[in-house]
């Protein structure tokens, strides 16, 4: 379960040249992702059906960072880092318009590596690291 008060400015579209290599199952030009602190995520049901995967070693041992997927169908669910979770918002069932609005993408990361132009009016960042504050401010660290 995700703390609903944190569903604000953590959602973005990410464009990277490695996306095709790390997520070949999607064949997508970018991915929609939401970043949360690990302390803000709590699985209340189903966590025993998760499987960890390290694509660099092709191991299912739980070592960080790693990909987390369904242990039955291997669908990607989120990426786990040392202090964060990169969750795929399309997998979250948001029940209200307010929750959906709070989860909307706020910007594009690594837009310089894009394969297509996205004229959606959202800010485009080419910085190496993007920090999205919960108040809505965006910080780029090069």
94-110 confidence digits (pLDDT tens): 888 988 888 888 888 88
Task: Report d(CA 120, CA 136) in Å as an integer.
Answer: 18
> Using H for helix, E for strand and C for coil, what is the string for the chain?
CECHHHCCCCEEEECCCCHHHHCCCCCCCCEEEEEEEHHHECCCCCHHHEEEEECCCCECCCCCCEEEEECCCCCEEEEECCCEEEECHHHCCCCCHHHHHHCCCCCEECHHHCCCCCCCCCCECCCCEEEECCCCCEEEEC
Bridge partners, residue 129, by sequence:
141
103 domain residue, yes or no: yes
107 domain residue, yes or no: yes
118 domain residue, yes or no: yes
Average pLDDT of the chain? 75
* Residue 132: domain span: 4-42+81-141
Model confidence at 52, pLDDT cuts 50, 70, 90, reads very high
Does residue 85 register a pLDDT over 70? yes
Q: Answer with the residue of higher pLDDT: 87 or 27.
A: 87
57 domain residue, yes or no: no
55 domain residue, yes or no: no
Domain count, the chain: 1
Considering the chain, what percentage of its residues have pLDDT values greater than 70?
Answer: 71
75 domain residue, yes or no: no
**Global pTM exceeds 0.95:** no
């Amino acid at each position: 379960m995700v703390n609903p008060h944190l569903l604000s400015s953590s959602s973005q579209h990410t464009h990277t040249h490695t996306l095709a290599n790390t997520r070949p199952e999607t064949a997508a030009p970018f991915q929609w992702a939401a970043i949360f602190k690990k302390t803000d995520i709590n699985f209340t049901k189903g966590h025993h059906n998760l499987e960890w995967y390290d694509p660099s070693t092709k191991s299912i041992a739980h070592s960080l960072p790693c990909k987390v997927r369904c242990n039955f169908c291997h669908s990607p669910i989120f990426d786990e880092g040392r202090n964060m979770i990169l969750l795929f918002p399309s997998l979250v069932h948001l029940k209200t318009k307010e929750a959906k609005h709070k989860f909307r993408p706020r910007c594009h990361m690594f837009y310089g590596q894009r394969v297509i132009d996205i004229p959606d009016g959202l800010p485009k960042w080419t910085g190496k690291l993007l920090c999205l504050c919960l108040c809505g401010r965006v910080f780029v660290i090069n």
